[in-house]
A and B are shown apart, each in its own frame.
Chain A
């Protein structure tokens, strides 16, 4: 049962343009969502998160949007840079702000390639 889905295994964009990575979830009990980035031969690194009480969170070039009614979230990267090329994982948890951390449900990942 894939509770978090990233339906696009790969995405290619031109440097300077917008990258949009999508994620869908099925469990309405999820109330915290995170994006992680992973380079080859490295562990995933935290990028940005959003609580279910919000519909948007920004951090520099990265913005995450949450549509709870559609159970959908997206990560926007503007402008995209070649250094952003990596695998991006969407993750969800169901313990909210009191989460002790650890049990995240990950999507399959989307490999982003930013062409110079």
Chain B
């Protein structure tokens, strides 16, 4: 079945630094990928929709200059948390749906646990 791979699975960084998270679709081409954030004991909140070859679409309240999304190829989207602060510590998950089967489940990456110290 379709697989989405996310890397790294966890990262600890110092406040003020930037962190890049990668999301790859391994056996299908994803023109669209989705980035979610999940705080402890809360559900997944959509941050942005990553569109291959064009600008990402951000949800209300998500700072586009802080959470940079690049979708340069059909199999890779990256989320960069710039100038990270402790309040950015969270679980970040990407997902994609196989366009060959658009009305099927979304496949999720393994998630990245970010801790900013």
A binds B: no
Residues on B lying within 8 angstroms of A by beta carbon are: none
Residues on A lying within 8 angstroms of B by beta carbon are: none
